[in-house]
Amino acid sequence: MRALATLALLVLTLLGCSQQSETEETDDPASAAGTASPKANELALEVSGEAYVRDGFTTKDGWELEFDRVYVTLADVVAYQVESGFDPSQSGDVETAVAVTLLPGPLAVNLAAGDESFVRAATVQDAPSGTYNALSWKLIPAQAGPAKDSTVFLGGTAAKGEQTYFFTISFDRSLSYLCGEYVGEARKGVLEAGTDAAVEATFHFDHIFGDADAPADDEINAGAVGFEPFTAFTQGPSLIAEGLDAIQSELTEEQYQKLTAALENLGHVGEGHCQLQADAD
């Protein structure tokens, strides 16, 4: 009897482990890929919304934002090795020695998920060794899920004084970015033989809303539309602003121009800059 009980306990334990693994694999890409052991010559795609998304922040016009959903829908993500480097401030295409497609897509990535500073969205095994110093990707509308029809979808709470709103703001403009080398505290994109490395697509949401921690005349605030204009879409405790056409109808021309410019400059590689290509198909 004791042997049978031990065997039954072992079977239940194995079943429990199996069910947990299935749950992790169907969860957000961050948890599924982030726990995998690195493999030789593995090149990963990391996607980040920085501390603004993870920790929340105060906008230039005094709204305290907290995010629980921040989806960006990526497609055609390609990492490049460029022999002479690529300067996104100059026009023209990259002259590549190596190009690796990391994510054909589309994939909607929730940047607010998990506790890490990034979401690992894709990996490629047996990538060529070398320095990946350019990255391109498209933002296209999600085909399903909570971010359906949106290229960028923001959800959370906004508070100012005695006002609190549960907000969703979605943008549906497709965009295509071509970026240079990652700029940050730690270098990324250097794949040595027999090791692993990562490249990062970074999204700077302070370009849209501004940052109360920066001076009022700072470039980041001068070019940002802020959060206040979106309060035109409040209905009771909810704020729902869907699509650029609808949003434009409630903005001044100056505010709308700032918003579209902010979206065009949303994509970065760390603090490194990107070049806007023609709108994605």
Q: Over the stretch 216-242, which tens digit does the pLDDT of each residue have?
A: 999 999 999 999 999 999 999 999 999
Give the residue carrying structure tokens 């692993």: 196
Does the pLDDT of residue 36 top 70, yes or no? Answer: no
Q: What percent of the chain has pLDDT over 70?
A: 84
In angstroms, the CA 210 to CA 79 distance is 30
- Could you tell me the two tokens for 134? 């350019």
Task: Output DSSP code: residue 273.
Answer: -
pLDDT band at residue 258, thresholds of 50, 70 and 90? very high
Let me know: does 86 contact 134? Beta carbons within 8 Å.
yes
Residue range 45-65, pLDDT digits in tens: 999 999 999 999 999 999 999
Among 268, 260, 107, 267, CA closest to 172: 260
Among 258, 94, 233, 241, CA closest to 177: 94
> Beta-strand (E) ranges in the chain?
42-48, 57-58, 64-82, 96-103, 107-110, 119-124, 130-131, 134-139, 152-160, 163-171, 175-179, 190-191, 196-203, 234-235, 238-242, 267-268, 274-276
Residues counted in the chain? 281
How high does pLDDT run on average in the chain?
Answer: 86
